[in-house]
Amino acid sequence: MEHTDKKTAFNQGLIIFIFLAVLTALEFFIAIVMDAVVLLIFIALIKAGLVIYYYMHINRLNREDDGPEESYSFKTNTNRLGMWLFLLSDSFIFGGLMVARINLLGLTRPHLDQSLGLVVTAVLLISSFFMNRAETAMEHGDRKGFLVGTSLTLILGIVFLLGVVGIEWPQAIHEGITASSGAAGAIFFMMTGMHAFHVLTGVIFLVIILRNGARGLYNEEKHWAVEAATIYWHFIDVVWIFFYPALYLIGELL
């Protein structure tokens, strides 16, 4: 278990969030004023690194086992390894989509609603902040904090889904970017669709931990399900950290 006290942990989450927010804004303005692909990739890498290290706690993979094979902590360590292996595998889907995007579109991008893109990106980022708060709360046995944080994450996740699938998709279709209009449309719907599918599964995961959390099934020692949902949720955010510039910021308008 972490021995940082709750306040420090909350503050750390907040500071990381501020960094992420500033970097996102920076990204957006850089893309407006100049054509700087490498810089944008670099910023995305930093953002992803921050989330992976501070929100997903990749270093927990190094945790020593403090119990025999049957103990909860030993099993949690095994589960954590399994979860990360799954994400490694999953990231090959998204990597493949990225390759398809680069291969087909190169340095061009479809004409999408910039402000909407920024808003949904911000929504997902804020949801990650609350997810981190929820997990931190649970680690310190604060059930109420957990429930509030998870509920907010859940709501923001649904808002993100509505933003992408409910607003962005019809708008794009209205602009003439449809699934069958050409490579750009196909790539746009495939990338956002695959990501939205993952957000949807993440939302389901959140509903499960919210319900079980409300019934008091988790405590500060035993809450692997919460940790797993958290890691998964942040992973979805990491994917978007790359997909957002790939779809909205990089390259000339088609």
CA distance 35 to 157: 31
Phi and psi at residue 106, to the nearest 5°: 55, -135
Smallest Cα–Cα separation from 175: which of 98, 253, 241?
Answer: 253
**What is the biggest distance separating any 2 CA atoms in the chain, rounded to whole angstroms?**
60
Nearer to another protein, 49 or 95 (CB): 95
Contact 194, 93 (CB under 8 A): yes
Per CB under 8 A, the list member of 189, 232, 235, 248 interacting with another protein is 189
- How far, CA to CA in Å, does 199 sit from each of 23, 66, 175, 238? 22, 34, 25, 12
Please tell me whether residue 230 binds another protein under the rule CB under 8 A: no
Neighbouring C-beta atoms of residue 13, cutoff 10 Å: 21
Please tell me whether residue 73 binds another protein under the rule CB under 8 A: no
Please tell me whether residue 77 binds another protein under the rule CB under 8 A: yes
Select the span of 7-15, 25-33, 175-183, 235-243 touching another protein (CB under 8 A): 175-183
Per CB under 8 A, the list member of 8, 59, 71, 78 interacting with another protein is 78
For residue 23, the SS3 value is helix
CA distance 86 to 96: 16
The residue to which tokens 């340095």 are assigned: 107
Please tell me whether residue 93 binds another protein under the rule CB under 8 A: yes
* Shortest distance, position 98 Cβ to another protein, whole Å: 11
CA distance 183 to 243: 16
Nearer to another protein, 1 or 85 (CB): 85
- Joined together, the tokens standing for residue 48 give 């992803």
Nearer to another protein, 45 or 217 (CB): 217
Please tell me whether residue 82 binds another protein under the rule CB under 8 A: yes
Please tell me whether residue 114 binds another protein under the rule CB under 8 A: no
For residue 253, the SS3 value is strand
* Shortest distance, position 172 Cβ to another protein, whole Å: 13
Please tell me whether residue 62 binds another protein under the rule CB under 8 A: no
Please tell me whether residue 107 binds another protein under the rule CB under 8 A: no
Per CB under 8 A, the list member of 81, 166, 197, 201 interacting with another protein is 81
Please tell me whether residue 183 binds another protein under the rule CB under 8 A: yes
Provide the CA 148 distance to its chain's centre, in angstroms.
19
* Shortest distance, position 186 Cβ to another protein, whole Å: 4
Given the rule CB under 8 A, which residues bind another protein?
69, 77-78, 81-82, 85-86, 88-90, 92-93, 96-97, 99-100, 103-104, 179-187, 189-190, 208, 211-212, 215, 217, 225
